[in-house]
Structure 1
């Protein structure tokens, strides 16, 4: 199991936690600038090419830009089948069954490995690393690379023009009963 993170130097802490939870080694691609989803997918594609994993597991979406694009882009770049929003993953020989929540219930797809899977928060129960494993994690390999080591240009292509809070909601009103509610709705032209 190889854990990978792309970001600032402080991402080492997250990788050390992954090592303490059972990953064998880790790779940190250090970038002090924000790396957009396509850049992340290109870097991961290079790692997939190097490591040749049977299964790549990613989160559903990033916590910084909430984009939900990297897993799908990685599948396209590598030509691998993908299962998204996995709430259950079962490896069976040279295939993996991915159960995912859809509007109508649950959908299960079977993918030939090697494959890409993005996870939903229902996939597993988070656990904590034990103290002995935290100590062992300090001696596990954590390679540090840069995007240039993989020949990937991560220059941002998007520019944030403005970020603003949504407008404040106006205060609601209380009504005494259903008749008063219907009368107020009629006055606003909502109810007929």
Structure 2
């Protein structure tokens, strides 16, 4: 994934190697260490991960670093020392203005990734890729959450078909007792 990002235009990459399963809080702490070292003005993360799918890491990173955050970004516009983040909400679009440095989590509608050309794929192999470990960054990645049980929700009973509105109203009064 990092080499793909390098082929798409990133200048260099950082790989944090671990054999442990990294949960959201530990990932945010790892990112915090990298942010403190690199001092970026804009940190862009995805909305969700494919493992826990819980949409927490970006918000946790913003809290740990004290940076403002924009979530579910469908458009990002940097204007000097500010960034405007547009996000979809139930009523339409909402734009928030943030001072840089800031953390932004993206929505799938933010952009359409370009394809890496063969020359850029070859150049990516020569770009710097720093490899580090959580211990090098001073972060303990031991799991802090334990899944104790997973169970399916109770099955719902099947619905019924009614012949007409009068029967529906009767069933709502007598059986469901909602009217």
Structure 2-normalised TM-score?
0.87
Consecutive unaligned residues of structure 1, counting only runs of 5 or more, are 1-13
Kindly provide the CA deviation profile for residues 46-91 of structure 1, in whole angstroms up to 9, marking residues without a partner as x: 1111111111001122221122221122112212111111111001
- Distance in 2 between residues matched to 1:128 and 1:180, nearest whole Å: 59
**SS of corresponding position for 2:5:** helix
How large is the Cα RMSD of the aligned pairs? Answer: 2.1
User: Where does structure 1 differ by over 6 angstroms across 4 or more consecutive aligned residues?
Assistant: none
Q: Is 1:22 the equivalent of 2:34?
A: no
Q: Is 1:159 the equivalent of 2:146?
A: yes
- Distance in 2 between residues matched to 1:90 and 1:164, nearest whole Å: 43
- Distance in 2 between residues matched to 1:120 and 1:65, nearest whole Å: 17
Q: Is 1:188 the equivalent of 2:175?
A: yes
1:79 paired residue number? 66
Map 1:15-164 → 2, pairs under 5 A: 15-164=2-151
**SS of corresponding position for 2:120:** helix
Consecutive unaligned residues of structure 2, counting only runs of 5 or more, are none
- Distance in 1 between residues matched to 2:142 and 2:67, nearest whole Å: 26
**SS of corresponding position for 1:134:** helix
Give how far 1:37 is off: 1.4
Aligned length: 179
Distance 1:92 1:176, change over 3 A: same
- Distance in 1 between residues matched to 2:6 and 2:42, nearest whole Å: 18
Greater relative contact order (CA < 8 Å, ≥ 6 in sequence)? 2
- Distance in 2 between residues matched to 1:176 and 1:149, nearest whole Å: 70
Structure 1-normalised TM-score?
0.81
